[in-house]
Each structure stands twice: as structure tokens, then as C-alpha cells.
A and B are shown apart, each in its own frame.
Chain A
Amino acid sequence: MSRRGYEGVAVAVPVTVPYVRYSIRAAHWWLARCLAELLKGCGLRKEDMDGFSVSSFTLAPDTAIGLTQHLGLSPRWLDHVPFGGASGIVQLRRAARAVQSGDADVIACVAGDTNHVDSFRLTLANFSQFARDAVYPYGAGGPNASFAFLTAYYMRTYGVKREDFGKLCVAQRDNALRFAHALFKKPLTLEEYLAARPIAEPLHLYDCVMPCAGADGFIVLSEERAKRLGIGYARLLGTIERHNAFATDPVQMRAGWALDRADLYEQAGTGPQDMDFVQTYDDYPVISVMQLEDLGFCAKGEGPAFIRRQSFTWDGSFPLNTSGGQLSVGQAGAAGGSLGLVEALRQLTREAQGRQVKDAKLGLVSGFGMINFDRGLGSGAAILGC
């Protein structure tokens, strides 16, 4: 049975609460600011918003429900999606169905985290039961160590070179220089990338995201309501979501996208060749390459050749992570799962200012989350159009 589409659903009001490296505020502060910006962006009072979806690592001991009282909300539809980098896509597809079915009319989706000086270590130490039992006691390298294994294996198997990953990082930094909220404000050269200090070999400094505080959010509502509010919006054309795919692969070389991409393109009525830009989940460059392969932009193992053939700046042959991605904007915890999504909305609503992809009509966003043990578990993707 083919899946029902998302007719009539609008995604609007891209918000990024400017990131900072460290914050003395709680996650609640960041999520509150994000929500306030969302409401301001669509000209609604919080009483007019009847759906609320939250993703955060550092909100504990609270969850979404506690946040309703904290922020004085009374939604009739509430969601908490603690899936890290997969959260944005999952929040979006759940909210879209809720709006379509009439369970809620206006849903604010927010994702964000604070970052105290010691909160990253504490998050890592208690990230998951498997991480606590079987990863953290081994050098406490956090995701750097896990992705070092995947990167080393990928480089050996498919002949990816550091220069290839470097090309992605350098292009994203170029894009970030045109995004006001990016934490990295200086250009990055390939020479600087290659000369960076090692963090967890073969990963070096510029392969790793920088933890920071921040929040991103968007509004899901009906097209009709969006038109009445007079706000720009994108349409949702297709989505996929998958967790713990290919569990018996000894090392992660692919994720759920490889299983579900036909479903994604069929629902959207498009193919990878139709995309005007792509926003991957980019906590490490190897994961961007994996997504490009698994989502059909090139065959498995052809990532390096694809990288050498394309240019990835906002005005290049394959605009990728046009706001700079997490590698150049920063990783504000769970907000990383929405960073690409809000950038896609900006591109499709012509709000991308100095980095607007010309005539952008279709874009693909993907999410990837939760290194529970040795690999990322959650994957998702969405195709949006204007």
C-alpha cells in the first residue's frame, strides 16, 4: 500500500537562536527563546498554538510536558523526541500528520540545548546504557572515537582521502561565512584543514563538530492557515524514518536511508537528480558522504569520486549544507537535527540572504542520530519544495 502524501501541510518560520560556545542558562531558556521567535515569526500568541514538539539532551529532569508549565502553554498535542540528530525529521513528520488529521492546527517544533563548561562530558558519560557500559570506559573519547572507527574503515575500504573530507569542510566554511549565526567566522583553507591537530586518528580538529548552546525551530501548520497568516512556507513532499537498520553489519557503512530511499523519492514524486540543494547531518564529514551514497546521489563507494567531481558551496554544482552545517555553525546538541531543516526552509522561502541557491525549488534534508554504542541508530530524510 502506498503511503498517503502530505498534501495541505506547510512548514514555515525557520528560526535559529544564535549559538554561543558556552551558556550559563538552562535548556529551557534556549527553547523558550526559540518558541518566542517562532510565534513572532507567524504573528501568533502562544494561546493560538495548540501543538508543541520538543527535542533536547539537557532538559532533564524535565521533558516536554514539564516545559508546558514552565512556559505557560496548554497544547492539545504534545511530543517529545529525544532522538538526537534524527529528531528534526521525526518531529516534522509526526507534526505533519497531526496537522493533516486535525489533531492540532499550529505546531511549534523546537530543538535545542544548553552547553555549560562541563555539560558535554556529563552528557557523554551518561549518554546511553551501552555507552556507559561499553564505550565511555574506553578512553572517554565520546563520538570522536566512534566516528574515528567508521572513518578509518571507510577510508580503507573506499579509498577516501583526507583531502576529500577536507573539500567538504572547506566548502561548508565558505557557506558559513554568509550565515550570520555561524560560530566559525574565519575562512578555512585545505592546508589548515590538513595541518590541524589530531583528535582521534584519522579524525583531526576540523572533522569534529564543536559543542555549543543554541536552538532551532520551525512551525508546522496547514497551507491554508499559512496563507491566511501571510507567511512564506515550504511544502512537505516526502519523508522516511528508520531505526537500527542493518544491525548485523560489523561496522556501520550505511544506515536506514539505503533501505528506504525508494520510498522517499516515490512519495515525493522526484529523484535525487531533481534536488537543488541537500542538507546532510554532518557531525563528521564521513557521515555526509554516507548520506550522499545512501540517498542515491552516487553509488556506495563512489563518494570520493563524487566529491572530486562536484563543488559544494551555495553557488557550486552541488549546494550542500548551505548555512555551513554543524561543522561550521556549531553543534547545539539536539538542535543539530534541525539546523539543516531550517536552512532548507530559508532556501525555499528565499530568506537565505547572501547564500541563496538560485531558483531553489526542491531540497533534501536528512537526519542521523544517537551513537548508542558503535553506530548511529536513527536515520531520516525529508524532501521539501516550494
Chain B
Amino acid sequence: MTLAARLDRTAPTVSGRGQRWAEARAGSLLALPAAVYFLVFWVVPFAGAVYLSFTSYELAGVPEWTGLDNYRRMLDDPGFWNSAEVTAVFTVASVVPSIVLGLAIAVPLSKPGRLNGVLRALVLIPAAMPLVATSTVWSAIFADHGLANTLIGLVGIEPKPWLTDEGLALWALVVMTTWKHLGLFVIILTAGLQGLPSEVFEAAALDGAGPLRAFARITLPLLRRTLLFVLVIAVIGAMQSFVPAFLLTKGGPAGATEVLPLYLWATGFGFERMGYASAIAMVLLVAMLALSLLQFGVLKGGDDG
């Protein structure tokens, strides 16, 4: 019998109406600032953006109701489709290595040991580097005579035009983004791994399960909740990624890194078509929500809240 069940039997007072009332009161109190904050700073602006997405609003005068025009316009706007594609590729290309590498590093790193302790501290350093301040450093790293080419030159690879090759530029951004976020993912995954009950692994070892099998059968399922969090954050972060492209490539070469948020920025603040930009944001929002729901669904049980 679990502790909870026993408590339930011996102490009926912790459930029941009194408890529900106490929880409701405390919960409301703790969540009230959040409710007010999100209402004022996100829900209201969001409602404004929804409204604007049905209007023609060029950052001046009164928004003019145009119904579904903005959404229709998206259908035959090659700029939008190019950006949607770039964002999709970028998301897959940056999430998969982040998670795989993150796990590959986190699993050995979660084991005790002094070296691991030091490495755990070091691995987070890139995450502490301000992106805006270091973007210049990255553009130098990816320049013709920059560090990236020096490094691949060491193993005999010809220098590559990282930021000016349509095929490579997006990958240069992936490298920069992964570099920035990997440490954080590693630390969160490490924490999750360290929290797993060790008895399970001992039992698995007794059953003669190999390390890979044990990882797939036991570790991954148990790590669902942490994985879900990292995955949701990684996907959303990738789909909203704006700063690397904005600072490093400005969407070039020839639109190859024009991620959707960048296109949104250009539409809203470059072309001043805020109505259309809002419509694009709504589509992006729906896509992200759908993906989030999917992840919650696939990793069901990772979220037993």
C-alpha cells in the first residue's frame, strides 16, 4: 500500500470539501498575479493581433476591416511559403541534433565523478553568452578566413562559404543555435536522469539488459516528463528563432535563411503591413500549438498534471 493511499484512509480531512476550498483559495492567490499579467501583457495584445489579422493596418490611421484577405494573400505569397519552408527545415535541423546530442552528452555526464562535475559547469558556458553581443563573433567565425574554415582546414577540408552558400547558411545558423542551447538542454536532461530511481536500473542489470536496451526500455520512458519539456521548448524556440538570422544573415543568401519570424518582422516593421504580419503570426501560432499538442499527446504520461 502506498503512503498516499494510507494517508487517504487514515486522514480523510485532507481530501473533501475543506481541502478543496483551501486549495482553490491558495491556488487562486498564487496564480492571480500570473492571470493579471498574462491578461494585460499577452491576452489583450494577442486579441489585438487577432483583430488586426483581419484588417489592413499599416501602422498608421485606422485599421480597415478586410475579412480574410490577409489569409488569402498568404496562399499566393511566395515569400511566405519560402519562409514557412525555411522555418520547417530549420526546426527539424536544430531540434533533432539538440535532443540527440543533448541526451548523448547528458547520459554519461549524469554519472557521478569529479570530472563530470567540472564538465557540467563548463557545458553551460555557451548558454551564458549573450547572443546579441556574440553575433559579431559568430559572423567572424563563419567568415572566409574565420575559425570555422581554419578548423575544417585542419582535417583537410576546403574552406566553405558558410554564410553565403544557400545550402550551408541555414546550417551555420543551426550550429550557432545548437551551440547556444545545447548546454541548457544537457543540464535539464542531466537533472532528469539523476532523478531516476536507481533501483530500476539495478533490476534491469540483474535481468541482463544491455546498456542500450536498458536506455530505450527504461531510461527513455521514465525520462518522458523531462524530454517533453525539452522538446516543447526546443521546438518553440526553433520556430520562433529570430535573432541568429536577423543578426547573422539578414535572411540571405537569396532568402535561404529567411525564417518565418524574420519575414514577419520585415512585413510588420519593414513594409509596415501589420495586419498581414498579424495574420502570419496567427498561422505560426496555430502551427506551434498543433505541434505542442502533438508532443503532449505522443509523450502522454509525460504530463500527468
Q: Check if A and B associate.
A: no
Q: Which residues of A contact B (CB under 8 A)?
A: none
- B residues in contact (CB < 8 Å) with A: none
